Amino acid sequence: MDMTLELPRKGLIKQELISYEIEETTNMVVKKIHTRKYAEDGVDYIDTWNSEPLCEAKNVAISCCNNVEEINLNEDG
């Protein structure tokens, strides 16, 4: 999957790229959203970025292939 937003084209209205990351400096799980809104002319666009802290990254559940695995991110185990 391509992790970039498309260049403007006729008929394209809006795109969002959402990622969930652990900020190393704060040890917080952060939801980051990159939004691109395209103008009707098919040429111009406006990018915006938003970050939303969700929780401290002590224990994070990761879903993979319909299995949920809990990962302990504490340094002491």
The per-residue pLDDT for 64 is 41
Rounded Cα–Cα distance for residues 15 and 3 (Å)? 12
- What is the arithmetic mean of pLDDT over 19-26? 89
The per-residue pLDDT for 9 is 77
Beta strands in 1-77 (DSSP E): 14-23, 28-38, 45-56, 59-64, 67-72
Rounded Cα–Cα distance for residues 4 and 36 (Å)? 11
pTM summary value: 0.61
State the virtual CA torsion across 42, 48, 52, 57 in degrees, nearest 10.
Answer: 90
Taking only the tens place, the pLDDT of each residue in 31-75 is 999 999 988 887 888 999 999 998 888 755 554 444 444 555 555
Q: With bands split at pLDDT 50, 70 and 90, how would you rate the model's confidence at 18?
A: very high
Q: Which two tokens stand for residue 16?
A: 């969002």
